[in-house]
Amino acid sequence: MRTGWSEIARQALSLPVLVAAFLLVVTPFGLYLADLPFIANMMFLSLMYAIAAMAWNLLMGYTGQLSIGHAVFFGVGAYTTMILVVYYDVTPWIGMFVAGAVAALVGLGLGVPFFRLRSHWFTLATIAAGEIFKLVFNNWEYVGSSAGLQMKIVPEGKALYYLQYAASYVYIYVALLVLAIELVVLYRIVTSREGFYLQAIREDELAAKTLGINTFKYKMMAMGISAFFTGMAGALYAVRYHFVEPAAVFDVITVSTYIAVAGIIGGIYHFAGPIIGSFIFLPAAEYVRVTIVARFPRLFGLHVFVLGVVLLVVSLFAPDGILGWMEKRGYIRRRRVIEV
């Protein structure tokens, strides 16, 4: 198994990756020139959830720990960035990485008691943590309680420092930068010895312990890294929309469940699965929410219904996700160097 930087470079310079990278770089500016803000915002959301879903998949797809509470890290990251900007005048360029670090610390703190739990009890604990954080922030005056926090509008000359732009396509490039960093880090992890240990824990934790693997240590490592990048996704949310509130960033459906569904739809046993899932699921959900629910308020929550339908169809016809289905049909071939 090759794990060096030369292998990462070889994969990055492959024709499909180069074509995808070119399209991702050119498309945002093209959307701006064509004056398509809705599609630009949809692309940003797809990238934001792709970042969070990739992070979630390190914990679930590679380590076998099902979390439905990643809204905790997403919300902590969003609030950390907002607090640094509003109260301490710290640029979001720094705040995003601080947000990831704070979210990682929260993840490690939760991991200590949570990893004593097994199976569905771990999953239930993550859901409970999300609701607890939502309740705490909803009543914490320092962070604006239920009203949340909002960034002040700054002069045009300070737009770069505060990352405030009228054009939404700018934030797509910021999200692309974060996703690129994440892909390099996660690729390096899953193709290393540590990645092999994580997969061993997923397949049979008792057997992994018998072989001398410190399962608690590696599960904590996965939790910390997963929380870090999910926190950065939350920071991107705060930077893009200049406003955070507990109901939005700690929501179990539109954050935790969306992240998990994006990973499952794409294929949790494929490295790029969560990215594919995000770009399939998020546009569909957003289209329904904006074009149908907004026009017919009585259909409020229809986008969540779409979530259920999409998940049902995938579970019936492609239980291993889109990439898993394509692999079984022979359309793609699994490269073990980067996939489980």
149 - beta bridge partners? 244
The answer to whether residue 185 sits within a structural domain is yes
Q: At what angle do helices 120-138 and 92-114 cross, to 10 degrees?
A: 130
Q: What is the CATH number of the domain that holds 116?
A: 1.10.3470
Count of the separate structural domains present in the chain: 1
1, 7 Cβ separation under 8 angstroms: no
Range of the domain at 17: 5-251
Residue 298 has pLDDT above 80, yes or no: no
The answer to whether residue 105 sits within a structural domain is yes
Residue 319 has pLDDT above 90, yes or no: no
The answer to whether residue 197 sits within a structural domain is yes
Taking Cα atoms as reference points, which of 246, 142, 187 lies closest to residue 3? Answer: 187
The answer to whether residue 337 sits within a structural domain is no
Q: Would you list the DSSP string of 202-267?
A: HH-HHHHHHTT--HHHHHHHHHHHHHHHHHHHHHHHHHHHSEE-HHHHS-IIIIIIHHHHHHHHH-
- Cβ neighbours for 52, distance < 8 A, ≥ 6 positions apart: 70, 74, 229, 230, 233, 234, 259, 262
* pTM for this entry: 0.90
Q: What is the pLDDT of residues 45-101, one digit of tens each?
A: 999 999 999 999 999 999 999 999 999 999 999 999 999 999 999 999 999 999 999
The answer to whether residue 264 sits within a structural domain is no
The answer to whether residue 311 sits within a structural domain is no
| Confidence bin at 337 (pLDDT 50/70/90) | very low
- Cβ neighbours for 225, distance < 8 A, ≥ 6 positions apart: 55, 58, 104, 185, 186, 189
Q: What is the pLDDT of residues 97-143, one digit of tens each?
A: 999 999 999 999 999 999 999 888 999 999 999 999 999 999 999 99
The answer to whether residue 146 sits within a structural domain is yes
The answer to whether residue 213 sits within a structural domain is yes
